[in-house]
Amino acid sequence: MILNLFVGTIVISLTVLIHTFGLIAITYVMSRLVALFRMHGRR
């Protein structure tokens, strides 16, 4: 029972970490793409 709770906590924290890093990565990539498009648009 306690082991189950422990594993559940680890899985939840891992999921939260993955989602957080995923969102940061997506935001970073999107901002880079927008910057590239703006640079190309100026030419």
Residues 6-22 have pLDDT tens digits of: 999 999 999 999 999 99
Half-sphere exposure of 43 (CA within 13 A, CB side): 4
What integer pLDDT is reported at residue 1 of this predicted model? 84
pLDDT value for 31: 96
What is the rounded CA–CA span in Å between residue 36 and residue 20? 25
> What is the total count of domains within the chain?
1
CA 15 to chain centre: 11
pLDDT of the residue at 40: 83
Lowest-confidence segment of 13-17, 23-27, 37-41 by average pLDDT: 37-41
pLDDT of residue 43: 64
Domain enclosing residue 1, as ranges? 1-43
